[in-house]
Structure 1
Amino acid sequence: MKIEIWSDVMCPFCYIGKNNFEKALEKLPFKDEVEVEWKSFQLDPTLHPDETKTTFEYFKEKKGVPETQARQMIGQVSQMGKNSGIEFNFENAIITNTFSAHKLLHLAKKYNIADKMEEALFIAHFIDGKNVGNIDTLIALAESLGIDKNGAQQALTSEEFNDDVQKDFSEAKNHGISGVPFFILNGKYSVSGAQPVEFFTGALQQTYDETVSPLKSLSGNENSCDADGCSI
């Protein structure tokens, strides 16, 4: 069963959704049959690659939200994070363009460590206060997961993965995705937002039952025929 997840590194609900989704998946007996593919989405592609802001500067300048209101909103998200097991550090979070971070995610797919890279990027941004738009920061993250430094530098300073990232953006548009996190469950169902663990558990189980699990008989084999004859 395949799960596609559109996400952006600087989206706190994406991190919460990831945690809740993984907790739900861990409970299910078919967890080893599930393939997760992380897809790229940019909440604000207008940010210049060299531009950085604090969370509160971003809310004020880009969203027109005063700091008092921003702190109230962030406090609510922080509490959601704690309930999910995440200690957000919004005071030190650096808002920046995340295109390069998405390129790194696609590089990680080549090594089958996209899930680990997604987690590392979230930690770097939301916990450690690192600039996930900075090439040196991203190369260090790649090295921490065993990716060759030269290979990471080549991927991040060239256009090697630009098309892959843009393809994810186009797929999101085609699916009508305007916000993240956004989950597509085996091409059958969609889930939007950082839903609770219980919701993900039910959605995954339903999807598995309807699209993957063997057919369940609602009757016996009476009054039917097969290669050996008919049963009456």
Structure 2
Amino acid sequence: MRVVGVDIGSVKSPSKFAWAVVDSPERTVLSCGDDPEGAVQALVQSLAEHGSAVLAVEAPMAVPVPEPDSDEWRWLGRARTGEGNRPWSAGAGAGALATGLAQTAWMLARLHTLAPRATATTQSQRFTAGEANLLLTEAFVSGTGKPVPVTTGQHAADAEAAARATLTYLTDGSNGFPLVECAPRRPLNLLALLAGWADIPVPRDELHLDVLVIRTQAGPRVAP
């Protein structure tokens, strides 16, 4: 399995956008960069060589929406379960969400141009069952789970951490991983929304299903 981790950020020079590719079983970094085109090319290569690809975006990609009842509006903007003091709707989370919408939309549209047969899902069980060849996930790299910067900078370290955590979750299982989810509120799945916007086939019911959000955990990191 191959995962492309993306740290969302400004693409103006000096770039705060970064991507990294981690492969199994060796779990080595195959390539990395600081431009969205490079991230898309890595996904295209994975689809061509392995028949599948995983994209882990480090930005809020699902938001909780209360039921349309008279008093439920009080829950609008509340943190997702598992976010702690890093809610999607405040500060850095809100900024990453806005930037991530545009950048992820571009990457998926570009991917559809280069790999028009790609089909997407945000549900890992559907991906494992072969119902789609592109899995879209969210990585939560923040707080105590933020890695020690490598010589190439914090953004590169975050992109690698996103890819590594996602790969570990998908290959070793969820044991020990603190997850983030919209439940008990209804999820608005932005990854499914963006895939549909980019004309990449994605099951319609996923608009209302939680995105797989993997919160990274702190660990030793040795700079290369």
TM bucket (normalised to shorter chain) is: under 0.3
Q: Hey, which of these two has a bigger chunk of helix by percent?
A: 1
From the CA coordinates, give the structure whose radius of gyration is larger: 1
